[in-house]
Each structure stands twice: as structure tokens, then as C-alpha cells.
Structure 1
Amino acid sequence: MLEMVDLGKKLEKEEYKKLMPDLERRLTELQQKMRELGIATTLVFEGLEAAGKGTLINRLMLPLDPRGFKVHPVHPPTIEEAMYPFLIRFWKKLPEKGRLGIFDKSWYERVLAERVTGKVSKKECQQAFNEILAFERQQIDNGVVMIKFWCHISKKEQGKRFKDIQKNPSLSWKIGKEELKQHKAYDDYIEAAEEMLEKTNSSQSPWVIIEAHDRRYATTKVFEALADAWETAIKKQQATVKKAAAKATKLTPRNVTVVSALDLAQTLDEKTYREELESYQKRIRNLEHEIYIHRIPAVIVYEGVDAAGKGGNIKRLTENLDPRGYEVIPIAAPTKEELARHYLWRFAREMPKAGHITIFDRSWYGRILVERVEGFCSETEWRRAYREINEFEAHLADFGAVVVKFWLHIDQDEQLKRFKERETTPWKAWKITEEDWRNREKWPKYESAINDMLANCSTSYAPWTIIEANDKYFARIKALKTVVKALEKALKKS
């Protein structure tokens, strides 16, 4: 692909002066319209050193409202960032609706610089391609406009620019050992770039090759590409018939489901419970330190029907742990800031770093449970979420994270009993709300959604464990056993 690029393309100064005022005006007006429509944009600038990425970004910023964009210069991951799956730091930087995120280098460094320098293996590189494609598709499916620019220059041109920069006392610091190494390995970088362009080019997130020898030509091509993409997005949005708020999906209850067939009569006597609780809590305390030594992160998800005992279960899991090594994240309804981004954004920000444990009291599964049943998202969105969630969890598992997911289930009689107990117990009254009673009335609808979730999102790398929770003692010990088993399995592999 790159050998066919015509790097001799030029734009004369007079022609440039004629084109730019109109392009600048278009971008200024289109940015405002994109903000009004709430459409986010992600721009990726990739290319070899001295290809002019910074200059192009700087020129692009001039006609834009600075309140509506943010530039993210991407450097090699810090020690802290390297303790997370590589896409997590980019999840955190995604633009909210109506804003523009500009990346000077990006997640593609995983398959470029890190590949050429040998920091990632061929297997990891191929895995990264799949993870990147999933990551980008998820953003685009959520309405984001994404354009990726590859700024291309020849080895000869790069060498010439390096010399010019080195002659300038104010800029010479930009050319160090790493830049000179890249120039020497130019052919290796181009080979990596060729594969990257081939494997990650799509109609939804295309690569735009910028012939970057002539800065005027490169500038107008970037401006035109962005203006065209924004105009297309605006027309598409305006052409879409405005639909009413998503209606709650009609769910047909099944006669026999996974959760309806559970044996909820399983119990554990108090003496056995106390003995096993002490034993497993000691073991988990030791495992917490062992996974820290081996830098294994753990993600533990608690979901379940209201009053199933998630809080008590989490308490028994954590009460003997070192508080410096874990965090419990209670999940409530999304805030305005969170609603302005992909629904997984708020969860990506809370992932544990290597060697730590994060426990979620409710999670991203709200997308295919409460949001589905209550009509807070469309059917297209919640059906798409099964794949998105599996891909998100695969990214965690590929990094080496242990992913444990619990569904705590009780029957309706037990739930009613616990609801009434909460209403009549002063220190428990805060736990029961009108929403809990409303959810109870929709039990059959939730049961259908639960069974679809269990069927579609239980994988070898992130399986669901169903906890029969009518008996709290039984439920707590089963959860502790499951965590111990999962952590021990991960340590054997390390």
C-alpha cells in the first residue's frame, strides 16, 4: 500500500490560500453543529517521527473552538499505565458527546513501536489487532465519528527533517537516541505500518493516507477529510427519523429457565459455616498477597436480584483482606458525564492494576438487565452489548486478569420475606425503596433478561457462577470457594 503513495503531491501557495478560508469556515460551522447534535469525534494521527503530525494537529486547531476539543499526546506507557490492559488508558481519554478527541499517536503504538522494538510478541501483536478492531467498532456503534490519519514520508525525507531540526537550538531536543533508532529501522516500521493499515482499515474507521512531504497539501487533505466526515455524520443524523424514547422490550417468560430450575433449598449449618468462613478467609488473605507478588489483577463482579445478599457476601469476602490491595466499587445509575460516553467507559476507569482486586457491586451487566427491561436503551443496543461485554472481558483476561462473576439468586417468597424484614428493621430500612417493589412486579421480565445474559455472556475466560442464595451461609461459602479456586488456578499458570 505505502509503496504506491505518491509523495510528490504538492499544493502551490496561491492555491493553498484560495482553499483554506473556505475549509476553515466549514470546520468552524460543522464543529458547532456536531456539538449541537451531540456527536463525538475521535481523530488519530499516526506516522513516523518528523512526519508532521504535531504541525498538522496545531494547524487543525486554529479554526476550531478550543472548548470543544482536547489533544492527547501519547507517549510510551508509564510504569503505572503498564499495569493495566493496554487499551484502558485510551478508554479513559475517549471524548464525550459533542466533543473532539485528537490523539497524537494512539493505541496503534502497540502494533508499531512496541512491535518493532520487540516489546510485544507476534502473538500479542495479532491479539492486539483484534482488540483494537473491537474497541473501535464499539465506539463507532455508539455514534462516534472516527478518522485515522497515517502521515507518510520517505526515509530520505525523514533524514532531511531530522537534520533541519537538529540545526535549530530550540528544537534539537526532539531528536534523541530513540528517534535516530527509528530512522535506522525505517523499513521495519514501514513493514509494521503496512500490516497495521491492512488489518485495521474498515469502512467505518478508515485510514486516510496523508502524503506529508508537502505541508500545504497535507493540511488541506486533513481539513477536507474531517469536513467531509462531519458533513456525512450530520446528514445521517438529520435523515434519521427521530424516534420516541426506547420502549421497554416485551419479554415472553419461559416455562423453564436456568434460574427457575435452581435448587434453592441448599443450606449450610452455622457451625460448618463458621469453620469454613474462617478457613477460606485466611486462604483468600494469603492469595491476595500471592497475586500481588505475581502481578495478577482480579475483577470480581456481583450481580443478583434485589435482596439476594450481595452486600453481605462482599463483606465476608473482604473483611479479612488487606485494604491496600482491593477496592469495592458500588454502581449506581450513570451520571450525566457517564451518559455522554460509551456505557463501558465508566467501568474501564475502575479496572484494577496488576496485582490488585476490584469488586463490583453491580456492573456493566446493567446494560442487558435494568436498561433492557426498563427501556433505557434500544433493543439494538442491548443485543449489541452481549458481544461488546464479551470483548471487554476478553481484553481483561488477555492481560492476565482473573474475571469472576457471581449471579446471586433467591426465589420470590424469600425476597418478599427479606423486603418485609428490611421495612421493619430500623438499621435496614434504607435498603428498601419503591424501586425495589417495582422491580419485583417485573420479576418474569427480569428473569428472561437474566437467562439471556447467562446464556450469552458466560465464557471460558469469564464464566458466570450462579449462587443459590436463599440460605445466606451457603451462598457466602460458595462464593468464597469460587474466588479461591479462580485465584489458585491463575497462580498455577503464572
Structure 2
Amino acid sequence: MLTSWNPPRPPEGEELARRLTAARERLGALQLKIKEHGLPVLVLVEGWGAAGKGSMIGRVIRQIDPRFFSVNSMSAPTEEEQRFPFLHRYMAAIPETGKFAFLDSGWMDEVVKARLRDHLEGEKYEKRIASVNRFERTLTDNGYLVMKLFLHIGRKEQKKRIERLLEEADTAWRVSYSDRWQNKHYDECLAVFEEYMRATNLPSSPWYVVDAAEKKWAELQILETLCAGIETALHNESLAVPLLQNTFPLRTMPRLSQVELDKTLPGEEYEARKKELQKRLSQLHNRLYLKKVPVIVVYEGWDAAGKGGNIKRVTAALDARGYQVNPIASPEPHEKARHYLWRFWTRLPKAGHIAIFDRSWYGRVMVERIEGFCAENDWQRAYNEINEFEAELADWGAVILKFWVHIDKDTQLARFKARQECPEKQWKITDEDWRNREKWDAYEQAVDEMLQKTSTEYAPWHILQSVDKKYARVQALELLVNALEKALG
């Protein structure tokens, strides 16, 4: 990449001016097409310290309506940001459809710095590279254009720029310790940059090296590269994405029709076991916080299966400051305009906290599949994307439990009627519930496929038998307590 790179010859003065004017106008026209086609464009600007990343972004955005771009300077993660998964802050920064997001440095800078400081070696480094490649690929598979630019300058040029910045009090602050260290260890940094860029140079999100020795020439390269990338993306927007083979270890799951639903729990035994398990869960919650272990609990299930009551018995044992219940309904417009996992990435718990999802990202392979809210290629691809997402969370150290709250069709009908007849519970039953009931068989088929394809060793599914709600509540508490005790040793 960098060591074998031959910089293109810059055009002469008049040609440079002509091409620069044309490229600026071209990008201005393309932003309208981006908006029209709903193409989200994520531009990652990496490069050497003092290469001019910030000023280049400033030059490029002059051609774009300010309402349709954002710029994020991704400095070293704060202490708060370090309590989330590595990719959390980058996923949070992705643009809505029809808009640009420019990142002044990003995941490459963070990985490379950790590599240079010997914080990422061997298997840890390989896992981080795999995370980056999955992250970029899932964005491009879901319609994002990811443009990765590396602003390249030589050692002498970098040293000259650093010294020039240090001469003036108004600009000296722009030179960091990292910039000076980088120049002093230029060859070592070059080797690590090379290693990283070769490992992440994907066909769907390749690297573009920019000769940043001269500002106008660098701007022209960036503008022409962006325009070419946007035009290609608009041309290819209707192409289907190949489905990837699952490579994650799966647990064998029964079909819903094979699950016995005759389990019951007498009232006295239920109260005793619930009380005991809630006491243990409360103690474990304190240890989770001390050891900074994040916990993610997913609830899916049939309408009227008892998800809400089940969640209530779990949260009754928890410190209210250390958990969050996320009721997931139809996506809001700003959520629908982003990658479907965005609204879940941004609801993850901090290390030491618990996030409970009342419905989740599995809507992609259930309601969105059945109701036609996404294309067949989208939901078929989602099984692997979800497994990758959960693998990222497990590698972060999260404990993941996924519950399917299960009842039969007759039980659901009886509970629907009971809700209709009880004034205090009528708000719980909607026309949509009745419509979904008519599609029970289609949903059951979708759920069976979901369970088979996404019950991984690191994030397994558990079917809660909820014809007797008391039995299901104790089941959930017991599974959660056992999982936390195992994670905490």
C-alpha cells in the first residue's frame, strides 16, 4: 500500500485549477443525487500527523449543503467511551440516508496507536482487524458508501510542518505529543500503517492513498475520488449482496412445535424460588458493577406471552441505577434512516450495567421479514450480521441471554379475550395483535429459522415455557443467575 505506492503526477497550474473547479461542481451536483437516492456516505480521513486532515475536510465540505453533512473529530476515546465496545462510538457516528458523515481520524487511528503501544498483539490484534472488516462490510452490504482516505506525506515534510506549527502560539496547540513521536519513529509507524491497510483493504471499502504534499493537489485527489465512488455506488445500488456462510458455533434448538408447554409451578413454591433467585441476582448485580461486566438480556416472544411480567420480576431484584429496559417499537424516522442495528448499538449498556431489550434486532428476521418491510436479501443476510454483532459484544466481555417466551395459540387467544374484557388491560390489546395472530404459522416458521441460525455458543437462545407465567419467570431468573455466576467465577 504505502511502501509500494507511486504517487500520481500532479497537473500543472491551469489544468489543476480547471479540474478543481470541475470536481467541486461535480460534488455539489452529486449531493442532490445522494439525497434523492437515499445514499449514506461515510468518509474516513486518516493519515500522518500534520498531513492536513482537518483542513482537507474543511475544503471538501464547502461544496455540500451544511444541512446534509456532519464532521466528527474522533480523538482518543474518553474514559466513558472505553466502557462501551470498541466500535460503539463509530457506529453512533454513521450518517442517515442521503447524508455525509466525515470522520477526522477513526478506527484505523485507534487500532494503530494501540498496536504501536504494544496494547494489541497476536490474537487480540487479529480479532480487532476482523471486527473492523466486519463493521465496514456490514455497512456497505446495507447500502452505505464507505470511503477511506489516507493522507500521505514524507518524514521531512511532516517534520517541516510540525516545526512551522510550533513557531506560532496560535497553532502550536495543534501539534500533539503523538505527532512528534510519530515523526521520530516514522519508519516504525509506516510499517504498522502498511500492515493495517493491507489487512483492511476490502473490495467494498478500499483504501485510497492521497499525496498530501500540496493542498490544492490533495483536495483535487479527494474530490475526484469521492465523486467516482459516489457515482459507482449510485450505479450499483440495486445489486443484491451475496450471502455469507455462517462460521459461528451453533447450538441445536428444537422447533417450537416440539416444546412441551405443560410445566407449572404451584404458588407457594413459585414465591419461595422467586424470592431466593431475586436475592442472589441482587447480590450478583453488585459484583457485576465492581468487575465492570456488561449484561445484555433479549426478550422476544408471542404477543401476550408474558414478556412484560417476566421482565418486571427480573428488574425487581436490580439496583435501578444499574439497568435500563429498552422497549423496542417501530423505528423512528431518524432510526429508520440508518443501518438497522444502529438503534441497538446506541442502547448498549456501559460495562458493569445491564440492558434489557423488550423486543430487539431480531425484528429484522421476524416482523420485517413477514410484513415485507425489508427485501428478502436483507433479512436472509441478517442472520450472519446478527451473529457478528453478538460476537462483537461477547468479545467485549458481555454476558448475553436471549429468551423466546413461548405459549400456544389457544393460550394466546384466551389472554387476548381476557384483555378485551378487562378495562384496566384493554390498552394491551391492539388491532395489530389480532392481525399478527392471523399470521401465526408464518411467524412460527420465521422463529424456528431464527432459533436455528442464531443460537450461538456465546449468545444462545432459551425457550421459556410460559403457559404458566410463574414457571417462565422462575426459568428466566434461574438462567440469568446461573449465567452471571459463571461469568463472575
For the criterion TM > 0.5, the same-fold answer is: yes
Identity of aligned residues (%): 45
Aligned to 1:473: 470
8 Å CA contact 1:405–1:463 kept in 2: the answer is yes
SS of structure 1 residue aligned to 2:78? coil
Aligned to 2:247: none
Instruction: Tell me, in whole angstroms, the C-alpha distance in 2 between the residues paired with 1:265 and 1:8.
Output: 73
Deviation at 1:214, TM superposition (A): 2.6
Where do residues 51-62 of structure 1 align in structure 2 (5 Å cutoff)? 51-62=51-62
Aligned to 1:425: 422
Aligned to 2:340: 343
Deviation at 1:137, TM superposition (A): 1.1
Instruction: Tell me, in whole angstroms, the C-alpha distance in 2 between the residues paired with 1:8 and 1:452.
Output: 51
Deviation at 1:5, TM superposition (A): 2.3
Aligned to 1:251: none
8 Å CA contact 2:92–2:342 kept in 1: the answer is yes
Contiguous gaps of at least 5 residues in structure 1 = 242-255
8 Å CA contact 1:6–1:211 kept in 2: the answer is no
Normalising by structure 1, we get a TM-score of 0.94
Deviation at 1:257, TM superposition (A): 6.1
Aligned to 2:405: 408
Normalising by structure 2, we get a TM-score of 0.95
Residues paired across the two proteins, number: 477
Q: Deviations over 1:15-70 (max 9, x none)?
A: 32121111111010011111111111011111110112112111111222111111
SS of structure 2 residue aligned to 1:3? coil
Aligned to 1:388: 385
Aligned to 2:250: none
SS of structure 2 residue aligned to 1:97? coil
Instruction: Tell me, in whole angstroms, the C-alpha distance in 1 between the residues paired with 2:79 and 2:319.
Output: 23
Instruction: Tell me, in whole angstroms, the C-alpha distance in 1 between the residues paired with 2:3 and 2:366.
Output: 50
8 Å CA contact 1:302–1:407 kept in 2: the answer is yes
8 Å CA contact 1:299–1:357 kept in 2: the answer is yes
Instruction: Tell me, in whole angstroms, the C-alpha distance in 2 between the residues paired with 1:90 and 1:156.
Output: 32
**What amino acid does structure 1 have at the position aligned with 2:179?**
E
Deviation at 1:7, TM superposition (A): 5.1
8 Å CA contact 2:420–2:429 kept in 1: the answer is yes
Instruction: Tell me, in whole angstroms, the C-alpha distance in 2 between the residues paired with 1:352 and 1:184.
Output: 40
8 Å CA contact 1:302–1:361 kept in 2: the answer is yes
Are residue 306 (structure 1) and residue 303 (structure 2) matched? yes
Aligned with 2:376 (options 376, 379, 396)? 379
Q: Deviations over 1:120-139 (max 9, x none)?
A: 34322211111111111111
8 Å CA contact 1:10–1:216 kept in 2: the answer is no
8 Å CA contact 1:7–1:213 kept in 2: the answer is no
Aligned to 1:75: 75
Instruction: Tell me, in whole angstroms, the C-alpha distance in 1 between the residues paired with 2:475 and 2:235.
Output: 54
Aligned to 2:181: 181
**What amino acid does structure 1 have at the position aligned with 2:126?**
Q
SS of structure 2 residue aligned to 1:2? coil
Instruction: Tell me, in whole angstroms, the C-alpha distance in 2 between the residues paired with 1:186 and 1:318.
Output: 53
Instruction: Tell me, in whole angstroms, the C-alpha distance in 1 between the residues paired with 2:114 and 2:62.
Output: 32
Aligned to 2:141: 141
**What amino acid does structure 1 have at the position aligned with 2:440?**
W
Deviation at 1:184, TM superposition (A): 2.0
Aligned to 2:245: none
**What amino acid does structure 2 have at the position aligned with 1:43?**
V
8 Å CA contact 1:110–1:128 kept in 2: the answer is no
Instruction: Tell me, in whole angstroms, the C-alpha distance in 2 between the residues paired with 1:318 and 1:231.
Output: 50
Instruction: Tell me, in whole angstroms, the C-alpha distance in 2 between the residues paired with 1:176 and 1:112.
Output: 16
Are residue 212 (structure 1) and residue 212 (structure 2) matched? yes
Deviation at 1:142, TM superposition (A): 1.3
Q: Deviations over 1:78-101 (max 9, x none)?
A: 011000001011111110000000
Aligned to 1:248: none
Are residue 86 (structure 1) and residue 86 (structure 2) matched? yes
Contiguous gaps of at least 5 residues in structure 2 = 241-252
Moved more, 173-182 or 309-318: 173-182
Aligned to 1:253: none
Instruction: Tell me, in whole angstroms, the C-alpha distance in 2 between the residues paired with 1:465 and 1:109.
Output: 39
SS of structure 2 residue aligned to 1:78? coil
Aligned to 1:357: 354
Call closer, same or farther: CA 1:8–1:434 in 2, change over 3 Å.
Answer: closer
Deviation at 1:240, TM superposition (A): 7.2
Aligned to 1:45: 45
Deviation at 1:231, TM superposition (A): 1.6
Aligned to 1:35: 35
**What amino acid does structure 2 have at the position aligned with 1:431?**
K
**What amino acid does structure 1 have at the position aligned with 2:398?**
A
8 Å CA contact 2:76–2:110 kept in 1: the answer is no
Aligned to 2:243: none
Instruction: Tell me, in whole angstroms, the C-alpha distance in 2 between the residues paired with 1:121 and 1:470.
Output: 50
**What amino acid does structure 1 have at the position aligned with 2:448?**
N
Deviation at 1:179, TM superposition (A): 2.0
Instruction: Tell me, in whole angstroms, the C-alpha distance in 1 between the residues paired with 2:66 and 2:81.
Output: 27
**What amino acid does structure 2 have at the position aligned with 1:157?**
E
SS of structure 2 residue aligned to 1:174? coil
Instruction: Tell me, in whole angstroms, the C-alpha distance in 1 between the residues paired with 2:34 and 2:188.
Output: 39
Are residue 452 (structure 1) and residue 449 (structure 2) matched? yes
* Cα RMSD after superposing both structures: 1.6
